[in-house]
């Protein structure tokens, strides 16, 4: 077990002890917090990392002393610093990481993402996701949880149908062509994107090869409301909360939106790529 997972396990045990001392069942605590019961179970069993807000809400719900909550918050800060390492995060389990992301998305009203390397996870088909997770498992020596990770990723996608939330995604045309999966899987993935572009609360943009780029395509980034930006690199997931950083990435996102094709224009790009891949598959 990695150092990160050991720390998450210790925190889960401490939180469970606080709940038990207050004579609350997991279900009762979840109801008090307005959570799904499964979230309490995931945190206590070290399958999900709590947030600072989670710790505070948990402490208030069980009547924990302020100094206890403060100590747990300090532990969490150190835990999250270790979690920034992709190697540690993936060794904790592909499915556990997906659950962490799902919880963050559930708290977000407006999600904006620019992804230059692959189809955004919330839009992936099962088989495309399988190809991605298989590569992640090899790259980061992650536990063999591909099926479980896919299951959680597919569950995450239910949030796209929540009309209270908005999603804005932008990818370069190259993402539609990268061979991260067999040709038939890629064709199925493009069909999925055509369907997603019809959702009223989802904006999907494609930067065509012919579009003038506002800047180089370096790292992708995910903007969660105006609270934080996640910038994944090969080894770490940078979580930025400084208002100036958030404003910088918001501006960068809008610059890519200005040169991207949306709605029918985006569909036309997708259809063109799909036709190319279908032709290649038949050769």
**Using CA atoms, how far apart are residues 144 and 141, in angstroms rounded to an integer?**
9
For 43, the token pair is: 């945190």
pLDDT of amino acid 241: 83
pLDDT of amino acid 142: 57
pLDDT of amino acid 184: 94
Beta bridge partners of residue 172, listed in sequence order: 207
pTM of the predicted model as reported, rounded to 2 decimal places:
0.73
pLDDT of amino acid 238: 81
Radius of gyration over alpha carbons of the chain, in Å? 20
CB burial class (10 A; 0-12, 13-18, 19+) of residue 210? exposed
**Using CA atoms, how far apart are residues 133 and 36, in angstroms rounded to an integer?**
26
Task: List, as one string, the DSSP characters of the chain.
Answer: --HHHHHHHHHHHHHHHHHHHTT--HHHHHHHHT--HHHHHHHHTTSSPPPHHHHHHHHHHHT--HHHHHHHHHHHHHHHHHHTBHHHHHHT-HHHHHHHHHHHHHT-SEEEEE-SSS--GGG--HHHHHHHHHHHHHHHT--S-HHHHHHHHHHHGGGGG-TT-EEEEEEEHHHHH--SS-HHHHHHHHHHHHHHTT-TTEEEEEE-TTSPPSS-----EEEETTTEEEEE-SSBEEEE--HHHHHHHHHHHHHHHHHSB-HHHHHHHHHHHHHHHHHHHH-
Torsion, Cα of 163, 185, 151, 201 (10° steps): -10
Per-residue pLDDT of the chain (283 residues; tens, 9 = 90+): 556 677 788 889 999 999 999 999 999 999 999 988 888 998 999 888 888 889 999 999 999 999 999 999 888 877 765 555 555 555 555 667 777 788 788 889 999 999 999 999 999 999 999 998 888 777 655 555 788 888 888 999 999 999 999 999 999 999 999 999 999 999 999 999 999 888 999 999 999 999 999 999 989 999 999 989 999 887 777 888 889 999 999 999 999 999 999 999 999 999 999 999 998 888 7
């Amino acid at each position: 077990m990695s150092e990160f997972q050991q720390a998450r396990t210790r925190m889960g045990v401490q939180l469970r002890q606080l709940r038990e001392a207050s004579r609350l069942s997991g279900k009762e605590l979840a109801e008090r917090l307005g959570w799904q019961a499964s979230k309490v179970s995931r945190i206590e069993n070290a399958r999900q990392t709590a947030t600072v807000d989670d710790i505070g809400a948990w402490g208030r719900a069980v009547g924990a002393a302020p100094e206890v909550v403060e100590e747990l918050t300090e532990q969490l800060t150190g835990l999250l610093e270790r979690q920034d390492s992709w190697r540690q995060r993936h060794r904790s389990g592909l499915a556990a990481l997906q659950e962490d992301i799902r919880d963050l998305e559930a708290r977000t009203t407006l999600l904006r993402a620019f992804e230059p390397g692959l189809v955004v996870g919330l839009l992936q088909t099962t088989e495309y996701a399988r190809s991605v997770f298989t590569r992640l498992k090899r790259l980061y020596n992650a536990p063999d949880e591909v099926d479980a990770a896919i299951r959680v990723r597919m569950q995450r996608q239910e949030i796209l149908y929540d009309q209270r939330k908005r999603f804005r995604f932008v990818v370069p045309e190259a993402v539609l062509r990268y061979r991260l999966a067999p040709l038939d899987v890629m064709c199925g993935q493009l069909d999925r994107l055509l369907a997603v572009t019809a959702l009223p609360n989802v904006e999907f943009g494609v930067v065509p090869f012919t579009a003038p780029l506002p800047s180089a395509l370096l790292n992708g980034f995910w903007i969660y409301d105006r609270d934080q930006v996640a910038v994944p690199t090969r080894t770490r997931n940078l979580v930025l909360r400084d208002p100036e950083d958030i404003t910088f990435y918001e501006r960068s996102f809008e610059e890519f939106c200005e040169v991207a094709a949306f709605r029918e224009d985006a569909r036309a790009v997708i259809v063109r790529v799909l036709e190319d891949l279908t032709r290649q598959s038949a050769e």
